[in-house]
A and B are shown apart, each in its own frame.
Chain A
Amino acid sequence: MSDYSLKEMMTIAAARMIQDGDIVFCGTGISMLAAMAAKHISAPQSTIFFETGAIDSLLEEVPLAVADPRVMFWTSVNGNLADSFATMQNRFTGKRVIGILGAAQVDPYGNLNSTCLGEYPRCRTRFSGSGGACDVGSFVPRTITFMQHEKRKFVERLDYLTTPGYLDGPEGRARAGLPEGGPLAVVTNLGVMGFDPDTKRMILTGYYPGIHPQTILDNMGFSIDISEASELRPPTADELDILRNRCDPHRLIL
Chain B
Amino acid sequence: MVQRSTKVMTLSEAVSTFVTPGCHLSIGGFTINRNPMAAVYEIIRQRIGHLHLYAHSNGQGVDELVGAGCVDRIEIAYAGSGRFAPTCIRFRRAVESGSIQIEDYSNYHMTLRFMAGAMGVPFLPTRSGLGTDIVEKWGFSREMRRNDPRIPDDKLLVIDNPFGAWANAQKLVLVPAINTDVAILHVQKADVQGTARIEGLTFSDVEQFKASKHVIVTCEELIEDDSLKADPDSNQVPHFCVSAVVHVPYGAYPTACYRYYDYDPKYLNEYRKAALDDAAYREYLERFVYGVQDHRELLSLREAADLAAIAADPRTGYAVGLDRR
Contacts and interface: CB of A to CB of B under 8 A. Distances in A.
Contact of B139 (A121, A175, A177): A121
B203 A81 contact: yes
Interface in B107-144: 107-109, 111-112, 115, 126-134, 136-139
B83 A28 contact: yes
B82 A68 contact: yes
B259 to A, nearest CB: 8
Contacts of B131: 161, 164, 167, 172-173, 175-178
Given A28-B83, A78-B200, A139-B128, A120 B317 contact: no
B96 interface: yes
Nearest to A52: B201
Contact of A135 (B31, B108, B133, B320): B108
Contacts of A64: 32, 82-84, 324
Interface string A98-138: 00000000000000000110001111111111111111001
A122 B78 contact: no
B87 interface: yes
A116 B95 CA distance: 10
A179 interface: yes
Contact of A131 (B57, B98, B316, B318): B57
A197 interface: no
B215 interface: no
A133 B128 CA distance: 10
B12 interface: no
A132 B318 contact: no
Nearest to A85: B108
Contacts of B59: 65
A221 interface: no
Instruction: Please tell me the size bucket of the interface on A.
Output: 35 or more
A170 interface: no
Given A51-B107, A69-B262, A85-B111, A138 B129 contact: yes
A130 B168 CA distance: 25
A230 interface: no
Interface string A59-85: 011001111111111100011111001
B264 interface: no
Contacts of B82: 28, 64-68
B206 A80 contact: yes
Given A128-B79, A129-B77, A164-B132, A80 B203 contact: yes
A66 B82 CA distance: 8
A134 B81 contact: no
Interface of B: 29-34, 56-57, 59, 76-84, 86-88, 91-92, 95-96, 98, 101-109, 111-112, 115, 126-134, 136-139, 158, 167-172, 200-207, 256, 258, 262-263, 312, 316-318, 320-321, 324-325
A13 interface: no
A74 B317 CA distance: 10
B200 A69 contact: yes
Nearest to A158: B133
Contacts of A133: 106
Contact of A69 (B133, B207, B256): B256
- Give 5 closest A-B pairs by Cβ, nearest first: A65-B82, A177-B171, A176-B131, A131-B78, A67-B30
A178 B83 CA distance: 32
A223 interface: no
Contacts of B320: 60-61
Contact of A121 (B102, B112, B126): B102
Contacts of A145: none
B96 A69 contact: no
Contact of A53 (B78, B109, B201): B201
Nearest to B30: A67
Contacts of B200: 69, 72, 78
Contacts of A125: 96
Given A73-B316, A130-B107, A65 B81 contact: yes
Given A73-B317, A91-B167, A134-B106, A123 B133 contact: no
Contact of B107 (A73, A85, A126): A85
17 contacts: A54-B201, A60-B316, A66-B82, A67-B34, A70-B318, A82-B115, A85-B107, A89-B128, A121-B102, A129-B76, A130-B134, A131-B107, A132-B57, A135-B129, A164-B130, A164-B132, A179-B127
Nearest to B110: A81
